[in-house]
Structure 1
Amino acid sequence: MARPDRHIENFLEMLSAERGLAQNSLLAYRTDLADFAGFLTAEGESVERIGIAALRRYVQGLADAGLKPATAARRLSALRQFFRFLAREGLRSDDPAALLDAPKRARALPKLLSEEEVDRLLQAARELREDPAEAARLTALLELLYATGLRVSELVSLRWPPFGDDPRFLVIRGKGGKERLVPLSEPARQAVEAYAGFRTDFLQPKRTSPWLFPSRGESGHLTRQRFGQLLKDLAIQARIPPAKVSPHVLRHAFASHLLARGADLRAVQKMLGHADISTTQIYTHVLEARKQALVRQHHPLARA
Structure 2
Amino acid sequence: MDMLIDQFIHYLAVEKGLAANTLESYQRDMIAFTTFLREQGIERIEDSTRTLIVAYLLSLQEKGRATATLSRNMASIRAFYQFLVRDKLLDHDPSLHLETPKIEKRLPKVLSVEEVERLLDSPDLSQPSGLRDKAMLELLYATGIRVSELVQLHVGDVNLEMGFLKCMGKGSKERIIPLGSMAIHVVRQYMQTGRQKLLKQSEERALFLNHLGKQITRQGFWKIIKRYARLANVRAEITPHTLRHSFATHLLENGADLRSVQEMLGHADISTTQIYTHVTRTRIKDVYAKTHPRA
TM-score, length basis structure 1: 0.87
2:52 & 2:238 partners in 1: Cα distance?
Answer: 42
Say whether residues 1:195 and 2:190 are aligned partners. yes
1:18 & 1:5 partners in 2: Cα distance?
Answer: 20
Query: Would the alpha carbon gap of residues 163 and 44 (structure 1) be closer, same or farther in structure 2, given more than 3 Å must change?
Result: closer
Counterpart for residue 142 of structure 1: 137
The answer for unaligned runs of 5 or more in structure 1 is: 297-301
2:281 & 2:198 partners in 1: Cα distance?
Answer: 44
Question: Residue 38 of structure 2 is aligned with which of 38, 41, 50?
Answer: 41
TM-aligned CA deviation for residue 201 of structure 1:
1.2
Output the amino acid matched with 1:48. E
Paired residues of 1:260 and 1:290 also in contact (CA < 8 A): no
Question: Residue 177 of structure 2 is aligned with which of 182, 185, 196?
Answer: 182
Q: For this pair of structures, how many residues does the alignment match?
A: 290
TM-aligned CA deviation for residue 15 of structure 1:
0.8
Q: How does 1:1-304 map to 2 (within 5 A)?
A: 4-45=1-42, 46-125=44-123, 128=124, 131-164=126-159, 167-196=162-191, 197-204=193-200, 207-215=202-210, 217=212, 220-241=214-235, 244-289=237-282
Paired residues of 2:146 and 2:241 also in contact (CA < 8 A): yes
1:295 & 1:214 partners in 2: Cα distance?
Answer: 45
Output the amino acid matched with 1:247. P
Deviations 1:128-171 (A, max 9, x none): 26x42222111111111100001111111211144348522112
TM-aligned CA deviation for residue 99 of structure 1:
2.3
Over aligned residue pairs, what C-alpha RMSD do you find? 2.4
1:52 & 1:198 partners in 2: Cα distance?
Answer: 56
- Which has the higher mean CA deviation after the structures are superposed, 170-179 or 144-153? 170-179
Paired residues of 1:202 and 1:216 also in contact (CA < 8 A): yes
- Which has the higher mean CA deviation after the structures are superposed, 38-47 or 161-170? 161-170
- Secondary structure of the equivalent of 2:106? coil
Deviations 1:210-252 (A, max 9, x none): 121133559x3111111111111111111123x7223311111
Paired residues of 1:52 and 1:97 also in contact (CA < 8 A): yes
Paired residues of 1:52 and 1:96 also in contact (CA < 8 A): yes
4+ runs deviating over 6 angstroms: 293-296
Paired residues of 2:160 and 2:184 also in contact (CA < 8 A): no
Output the amino acid matched with 2:242. V
Identical counterparts, % of pairs: 42
Counterpart for residue 299 of structure 1: none
1:118 & 1:259 partners in 2: Cα distance?
Answer: 16
The answer for unaligned runs of 5 or more in structure 2 is: none
1:227 & 1:292 partners in 2: Cα distance?
Answer: 34
TM-score, length basis structure 2: 0.90
